[in-house]
A = this chain, B = another copy of it.
Amino acid sequence: MRESTGPTFIGCGSDFASATSVLLGVPFDGTVSFRPGARFAPAQIRMESVGLETYSPYFDADLTDFSLCDLGDLEPPFGNTEKVLQLVQEQMRHVFQHNKKLIMLGGEHLISLPAITEAKRQYDDLVVLHFDAHTDLRSDYLGETLSHATVMRRVWEVLGDGRIWQFGIRSGTREEFYWAKAGRTVLQMHDFTGLGAAIAEIGHRPVYLTIDLDVLDPSVLPGTGTPEAGGVSFPDLITALKAVSTLNIIGSDLVELAPHYDHSGASSAVACKVLRELIIAVSIGL
């Protein structure tokens, strides 16, 4: 793995051995179909985190209450998608084998595939919670099966029917929506309606939570590759994170911030805060 060239995220100063949760950056955006730039998210988020407090008034918890380790970034070879996925999966194995909780920081959404694939190896009854604007259920994109636009279809191939809950979805082809509704996934359009029921149904099963930041409305986070109007608000997302913090989340990721597209810095600031809350949500049950 790459020698860390960036600062650590605030409050994540533990070493790997003593940490219960670990942060890993994957600055890869090689299959992005529209506007690339998610590769810059991990460095930008860490740099901007100096403007953030470690204390969450939402959880009444502080990052310094936990043992958190920031592993730095993988160094993905651009142009070779399969090798990137392999590198990610190796890291995940390392993390899961040591019983650490994972918080992966994209980069683009395709990186969820190797993480979930590995999580499934470790936790057989794994389910996935997916917050996103897009279905990501295409069979292929321009002939390619490995793409940020097909990632949840690939994940479904790993997990099977009824193991994926999707929230906030508002963009896709007609075929994707109909395919999902035919029982492949549990798909909630626009918002988090039904999240409570999902949580009840999931129970104690291990959960991988993947958050595409474009689930947020573009007014809140314009700095993403494919902004989709009609998204959830920041308080909606916080409420959802508080709800899922009761689950047994064994891994999670936060993807698709493209910081260069928002010169105001607000998108990066929002992503920093979502990351703080996500870390707490994942770690708080420990």
Contact = CB atoms under 8 A, between A and B. Distances in A.
A4 B7 contact: yes
B218 A270 contact: yes
A230 B216 CA distance: 12
Interface stretch (A17-25, A26-34, A89-97, A157-165): A26-34
A285 to B, nearest CB: 20
Given A4-B7, A7-B7, A263-B263, A33 B78 contact: yes
Interface of A: 4-8, 29-37, 39-40, 43, 47, 50-51, 53-55, 57, 60, 62, 75-81, 83, 110, 141-144, 146-147, 169-174, 177, 189-190, 217-220, 222-223, 226-230, 234-235, 238, 260-267, 269-270, 273-274
Contact of A227 (B30, B53, B264): B264
A12 to B, nearest CB: 11
Contacts of A54: 173
- Sort A-B residue pairs by CB-CB distance and give the 7 closest, nearest first: A31-B79, A222-B264, A219-B219, A222-B266, A36-B36, A218-B266, A77-B142
A189 B51 CA distance: 20
Contact of A47 (B4, B6, B189): B6
A149 to B, nearest CB: 10
A41 to B, nearest CB: 12
B34 A37 contact: no
A259 B127 CA distance: 41
Contacts of A83: 143
A234 B230 contact: yes
Contacts of A226: 51, 269
Contacts of A34: 50-51
Given A37-B37, A142-B77, A264-B262, A5 B50 contact: yes
Given A170-B57, A264-B261, A80 B144 contact: yes
A22 to B, nearest CB: 19
A171 B51 CA distance: 11
A248 to B, nearest CB: 27
Contacts of A219: 217, 219-220, 266
Contacts of A147: 78-79
Given A30-B30, A54-B173, A262-B264, 20 more contacts: A5-B8, A33-B78, A34-B50, A35-B40, A36-B39, A47-B47, A57-B177, A77-B143, A77-B144, A79-B147, A80-B143, A80-B144, A217-B220, A218-B264, A218-B266, A218-B269, A218-B270, A227-B266, A227-B269, A227-B270
